[in-house]
Structure 1
Amino acid sequence: MLHLRLITPAERTEDVVRVIEENVGTTHLVVLPGAARDPAGDVVMCDVAREAGDELIASLRKLGLDEAGSIAVESIDLSLSRRADEAEKDAPGEGADAVLWEQLSEATHEESTLSATYLAFLTLATMIAACGVVLDNAVLIVGAMAVGPEFGPLAGLSTAIVRRAPRLALRSLLALLLGFAAAMVLTVGFSLLMDALGLFSEARLEGERPNTGFVYAPDAFSFVVALLAGIAGTLSLTSAKSGALVGVAISVTTVPAAANAAVALSYGDTGQTAGSAYQLLLNLAGIVLAGTATLFTQKWLWARSRT
């Protein structure tokens, strides 16, 4: 179930209430006249089955409530109510299959912002991965994958394509391109510093690396894994399964490939640099392609289930 808290101008309250009452899957309607102060108006609250939430939010936006008032949506972890059970039963489809497009757009918008925090996490993840490739340490590689925040803008790009949102697409592309560029440049400097301290060496990078050599040797499996991870990651976002998203983060060679490219570049190894860059681009493309296809499929299946 979802809980909606609305602030509505007094003259639009009746229209808002009518939309809620006519929407299948709603219950626990509360109207508090004059309770809102900023902006001034009435407060309307209700609960709605997740599978009916996107339609209700869209109807409220058509009334201009997002401009004249406010629409706040929260997930309800526990609702002990017979009426809530009936509302979920009346709503068509299954809540686990429903996509809240407004929520997805908002989430990916936040995760796709080229902020100092985003750059810090991506750079730290790349530096950790740099240590992992030089030491041939798979544990460090996995840790770097988990720290990396790059799935946010990848999901944002897929969402932008499906929703035809050019601003979100541009924001996501900038976060990806500038983020990885900055992280790799800083990691080149980090690699040179570690080499000066005697902690990194070209011999280690060029030696046998059975645990991490794959990061600069892309093959068909790299693209297949990227496709599967893109599907899983998109499903985890639309169903709010954060645990699954962590699993996706540690299954795709994006940050490790960027790290290996940076370290190899610091030693002038163009072969490993090119191979790692190709691995990085292959994985990014696979995730975006799979994520976009998944969202289109979910949109089509959901529309079909409601006809």
Structure 2
Amino acid sequence: MLTALDEEGIDYAVWEETGRGDFEALLSFPIPESGVEPVLEKLETVGIREDAYTIVLATETVVSERLTKLQKRYDGLRISREELVARAEDLAPARSTYIAFLVLSTIIATAGLLQDSAATIIGAMVVAPLMGPAITASVGTVLGDERLVSRGVAFQIFGLALAVAVGAVMGWLLKDTFLLPPELDIRTIPQVAERTSPTFLSLFLALGSGIAGAISVMRNAGSALVGVAIAVALIPPAATAGLGLAWGYETVAIAAGTLVLVNLLAINLSALVLFYLAGYRPVEDPTYDQQSIRRNVLKRLGGIIAGMLLLSAVLGAVTVGEFLTSNVDLELQNEAQAMLDEPGYEGLNFEGTTTEFDFVRYVTNENYEMEILVGVEEGATVPPDLAQQLDDRLSEATGAENLTVRIVFLDEQVSD
């Protein structure tokens, strides 16, 4: 073993073992963080696993010319395989702690949703412990550790199901109480609506969070802050799904639940791919089948991607719907403004609309009402059939067959 260290040019110190007598000596040597894995692999070839154990400790300062040379040789940025496993296990807390933090973060996030408070929701994410299970599952997959995989997957599924249940119970308890406005429609709350109309842009948060989580663990930097980003992608939509169940809005629960699942798969996908590309593999051991591990990784990647593609059909439909809705709504408003700008309508000004465009009613030819604000300057003449004229003009321009136009007049005074 000492010969192997000499060949690598590594300084070391040896003390005689004075414990129970199970070992002959204690060996200590400094090595750059990126050199831990290759040096341990070399020591394993000379039998370190057979009659010794290894402790990897962080070192504050080492003054050594030989260490400088080692730093140039081992100039990688990732930690060793053994340290990765240790950090992944540290990120996944005990079950009772995990449940307590998850319940508390969901309660705070649900309150933030009902108050339409982004600050409260972000504050709840600091408490959420969801980064650990996602990273643990990915680490276990690339290293062939089924124990880590099963624990990470189980914690994620159980945790998000619990978050939905907590959101539903809290919504049921608060609904119709003095703490909330009477007849509150949660679909009108912007923070809730944001999670019930998921588009492909939602994936960028999840994919970015998964990549950032993997990088932070590999390089031991900013894990706490990255955990907030991962939690933002999961806890608020899970709480929104719970509120949808509490209020009996199936569309809210389904849309938010879809967003949770897509984000969960995206986080696991990006973390798994990054760990694999970083070169993490199971320890070189006869008991491990490297080809089997590679097939396992590819099989899980395939399953995740298939799930994402299936759920992305919902995101795609919403994305296309949002795009078409914006286009038709803009066309209706532009056409109304163009008509009122014509000479025959002098003194009448288009001020906007007060109704939210309903694209579903528009494409299904159901009766759809559009309320238009029209400013009337002093002395202007208002045609008695202005609403019908606007109706005919907008219907002809956009093909809306069952459009009903309602006009709200605003008295205006214009200075010279």
TM-score (norm 1): 0.81
Measure, in 2, the Cα distance between the counterparts of 1:151 and 1:219: 23
Provide structure 2 residue ranges, at least 5 long, that are not aligned to the other structure.
Answer: 281-416
Contact 1:202 1:267 in 2 (8 A): no
**What do residues 115-144 of structure 1 show as CA deviations (whole Å, max 9, x unaligned)?**
100111111111111011111100011112
Q: State whether structure 2 residue 129 is matched by structure 1 residue 146.
A: no
SS in 1 for 2:54: strand
Q: 1:57 to 1:189 in 2, by over 3 A?
A: same
Q: Quick one: higher RCO (CA 8 Å, sep 6+), 1 or 2?
A: 1
Question: Partner of 2:63 in structure 1?
Answer: 80
The one-letter amino acid of 1:21's match is D
Q: Is the 8 A contact 1:36 1:43 kept in 2?
A: no
246, 250, 263: which one pairs with 1:283?
A: 263
Q: How many residues align?
A: 279
- Corresponding residue number in structure 1 for 2:53: 70
SS at match of 1:76: coil
Q: Please state if 1:22 is matched with 2:13.
A: no
Structure 2 vs 1, CA of residues 117 and 66 (structure 1 numbering), >3 Å: closer, same or farther?
farther
Structural mapping, 1:1-307, within 5 Å:
16-23=1-8, 26-27=10-11, 29-37=12-20, 40-61=23-44, 65=48, 68-89=51-72, 91-92=73-74, 94-95=75-76, 97-112=77-92, 115-195=95-175, 198-200=178-180, 203-242=183-222, 245-247=224-226, 249-250=228-229, 252-299=232-279
SS of the residue aligned with 1:43?
strand
For 1:41 and 1:88, locate their aligned partners in 2 and report how far apart those are by CA, in whole Å. 30
Point out where structure 1 has 5 or more consecutive residues left out of the alignment. 1-15, 301-307
What percent of counterpart residues are identical?
A: 23
Relative distance call for 1:209 and 1:189 in structure 2 (3 A) is: closer
Give, in whole Å, the separation in 2 of the partners of 1:202 and 1:280: 29
Indicate the RMSD between aligned Cα atoms, in angstroms. 2.5
Seen in structure 2, the aligned counterparts of structure 1 residues 273 and 35 have a Cα distance that, compared at 3 Å, is same
Distance 2:197 2:167 in 1: 20
Whole-angstrom distance in 2 between the partners of 1:36 and 1:23: 29
Quick one: which amino acid aligns to residue 133 of structure 2?
Answer: P
Point out the structure with max Rg over C-alpha.
2
Deviations 1:148-200 (A, max 9, x none): 11111111111122112222111111111112223332333233333375324
Letter of the aligned partner of 1:34 in structure 2? Answer: E
Q: State the AA in 2 paired with 1:164.
A: G
TM-score norm. by structure 2 comes to 0.61
